[in-house]
Amino acid sequence: MKKAGIIMILGSLLLLGLFKFPLWNIMLGAPQYPEPLGMNIYIEGIKGVQEFDLQNIDGLNHYIGMKTIPKAEDMWEFSVFPKVIIAMVILGVVIGLLGYLKKVSYKYFLGWFLLMSVLGILGMYDFNNWLIDYGSNLDPHAIIKVTNPDGTPMSYKPPLLGFQKLLNFDVTSLPHIGGYLMFVGMSLTLVAFGLGRKTSLKKTTQ
């Protein structure tokens, strides 16, 4: 159980990577952009991959009437997400520590994982809602209006995960270092749960 507790603590601490590294990354390449433009999505806001990428994405998007990329202060998510992550880290470390000291059951590790998963899915759902709004809530006076074959206005929603072609742009959306660290961290808490379960089962059979 000692080992499981340590892994639980480590796994939770990996979430701190989200304060240093982007959670997600969206790259936009086009014939005119052999070096693609890109945005890194941090839990505290959106930044360009290169210094002027956000400005240049906004500049191009004005033709199709998309809103500018929100500043950190324009979205409640960017103030709430960091607090949630910090809370989860503290919770995870505390559970891990108590587990280490054998004060709580390994089942708490699973509890933390499930809570984090629910929060993560909610976060993704919220992020996807923003992408939908960003890609389809267009200025009616847009310079270029493109419609689908059925006559409805084309949506420029970037994919939540994976690749999509949007007009001349190839858009790729993937987790970034912070996101991967979070996934590894969450997986470690599952490992901690498994390990905790094994040691406690061993004890009962003895």
Partner 1 sequence: MKKILKSTFAIVALFAALTSCNNSGKSSNSGALSSNNAEKVYIAPGEHDSHYAFISGGYSGNLTVYGLPSGRMFKEIPVFSQFPTNGYGYSEETKPMLETSFGFVPWDDSHHPDISQTKGKLDGRWVFINGNNTPRIARISLTTFETEEIIEVPNSAGNHSSSFITENTEYVVAGTRFSVPIPQSDMSIKDYKGNFKGALSFISVDPEHGHMDIKFQVLMPGFNYDLSHPGRGKSHGWFFFTTYNTEEANSLLEVNASQNDKDFIAAINWKKIEEYVNNGGGKMMPASYAHNIYNDDTHTATSTLKKEVRVVNPSDVPGAVYLIPTPKSPHGCDVDPSGEYIVGNGKLSANLTVHSFTKMLDAIKNEKFAGEAYGIPILNFEDVLAGSVEQPGLGPLHTEFDGKGNAYTTFFISSEVVKWKLGTWEVIDRKPTYYSVGHLTIPGGNSAEPFGKYMFAMNKITKDRYLPTGPEMEHSAQLYDISGDKMELLLDFPTHGEPHYAAAIPAEIIKNNSRKIFKLSENQHPHKALSDADTKVVRDGKNVHVYMTMIRSHFSPDNIEGIKVGDNVFFHITNLEQDFDVPHGFAMIGARNAELLIAPGQTKTLTWKPERVGVWPFYCTDFCSALHQEMQGYVRVSPASSNIELAWSLGE
Choose among 131, 136, 159: nearest CA to 146. 136
List the one residue from 29, 56, 67, 94 that touches partner 1 (CB under 8 A). Answer: 56
| Contact predicate 142/65, CB 8 Å | yes
Q: Output 35 or 150, the one with its CB closest to partner 1.
A: 35
b/e per residue 135-159 (b: at least 16 CB within 10 A):
beebeeeeeeeeeeeeeeebbbbbb
List the one residue from 3, 20, 52, 117 that touches partner 1 (CB under 8 A). Answer: 52
| Contact predicate 25/174, CB 8 Å | yes
**Position 167 contacts partner 1 (CB under 8 A):** no
Tokens 């590894």 belong to 184
Compute the least distance from the CB of residue 34 to partner 1, in Å. 8
Fill in the per-residue mask, 31 to 50: x = in contact with partner 1 (CB under 8 A), - = not in contact.
----x---------------
**Position 143 contacts partner 1 (CB under 8 A):** yes
Compute the least distance from the CB of residue 52 to partner 1, in Å. 4
Beta strands in 6-44 (DSSP E): 24-30, 33-42
**Phi, psi at residue 198, to the nearest 5°?**
-60, -50
3-state secondary structure of 64: helix
Compute the least distance from the CB of residue 136 to partner 1, in Å. 21
Interacting residues with partner 1 between 173 and 192 (CB under 8 A): none
Interacting residues with partner 1 between 80 and 139 (CB under 8 A): none
- Which positions touch partner 1 (CB under 8 A)? 35, 51-52, 55-56, 59, 63, 143-144
